[in-house]
Structure 1
Amino acid sequence: MSSELQSKLDYLKAYRENRLNVAQDVLENPSLFKELVSICFSPSDKNNHKACWILEFVSYEELIWLQPHLDFFCSNLKILKDESSIRPIAKIVQLLVKAHYKKGENSILLSEENLQDCIEASFDWLINDVKVATKAYSIRTLYLLGNHYDWIHPELQIILNKDYADHSAAYKAVAREVLKKIEK
């Protein structure tokens, strides 16, 4: 028997408005959140990528809801293989890292192990064959992390300089922006 959330995901189309509607349902029913996170990291689930889309939108509003799930979330980043799942998760990783280093009530507490998982996944996405949006999120995430781990910026700089000529204008724009910041 399909759950309420699975039923919504079954009929979900990629249209932004549809994704926002399902995300709003989750925001109004926080009891669905744990199942949503679980589906995101179940690559064999046919709705896996759709759950990732929804988690991205929910995270814009309630990133703090991920706090109790961070060990699960971060340790499973490497199991994602589908581009449609990876892109929204890469964006969430960027949001989490930003929130971790931000002081205040909306900050997120990532453990050292969580941070290492985020670093590993971001480098993997950056060097593997994924679409430019995922690479852009990874570059920005690694830049932020490099402000706290002194080995990251030099590695990121090498990769960006080496790969620069082989990528799109969008990739080059992000690479230029980050390289400028690193070289300051």
Structure 2
Amino acid sequence: MSLEEFYDELNYVDASRKNRLKYAHMVLNDISLLPKLIDIMFRVDDKISCRAAWVFEFVCDHYIYAIVPYLDVFCNQIKNVYLDSAVRPVAKVCCFIAQEYDSKHPNTLKKTLKPKHKEQIIEVCFDWMISDQKIAAKAYAMDTLFILGKNYSWVHPQLTQILEQDFQMQSAGYKVRAKRILKKLNK
């Protein structure tokens, strides 16, 4: 399938879980579609990029190692994503990466995720935390920063400061997640 054909196909992606899963399986069954999906996802001024991000999230949820050959592209481009509907799934993928990296078992991401990648993810997560993002993106950013911050002495103090500073002005959902992260940070 050509890039243009795949782009047209993404017009049929909707927000339903069943639909996003269908397209994720299409990509997982033909992994040559993954670089095309990533290309479309990072066309950040195009509304179809959001649909690509939804599918990409499901691909990574089912097989996080699919991202490994594209870590450079992903980490270099995530800072450019700004549409709300794309930021949330991209933030969730950052969280998947952090969780897999933090796994107690040896895995491919532990070997391939370079300090540069972690720093790029940390930077964009802090940007999401201090900008006007929806709660879901901030929640995934909190979790990612907590996990990756274990390797950087400056991250946890910065995260604590942001959470405490923003706590009173945020939604109930934010407060629940922030309390949980603050409790972990204070141990």
Q: Structure 1-normalised TM-score? A: 0.95
How many residues align? The count is 184
8 Å CA contact 2:60, 2:93 repeated in 1: yes
Q: Are the equivalent residues in 1 in contact too, given 2:129–2:138 (CA < 8 A)?
A: yes
1:130 maps to: 133
Residue 132 of structure 1: CA displacement? Answer: 0.1
Identity of aligned residues (%): 37
TM-fit CA distance, 1:44? 3.0
Distance in structure 1 (CA, Å) of the matches to 2:9 and 2:148:
36
**Counterpart of 1:96?**
97
Secondary structure of the residue aligned to 2:151 is coil
Where do 4+ consecutive residues of structure 1 move more than 4 Å?
Answer: none
* In structure 2, C-alpha distance between the alignment counterparts of 1:44 and 1:160, rounded to whole Å: 30
Shift of 1:29: 1.0
Q: Please give the per-residue CA displacement for 1:133-156, whole angstroms capped at 9, x wherever unaligned.
A: 000000010011121111111111
Q: Deviations over 1:74-120 (max 9, x none)?
A: 01111111011110000000111121232323544211111110010
Q: Is the CA contact (8 Å cut-off) linking 1:99 and 1:106 kept in structure 2? A: no
Structure 1 Cα separation of the partners of residues 135 and 8 of structure 2: 31
The residue aligned with 2:119 is 116
Deviations 1:12-60 (A, max 9, x none): 2222211111111111111101100111111133310000000000001
What SS is found at the alignment partner of 2:141? helix
Q: Could you say what the CA RMSD is over the residues aligned between the two structures, in angstroms?
A: 1.4
In structure 2, the residue matched to 1:29 is: 30
Distance 1:41 1:83, change over 3 A: same
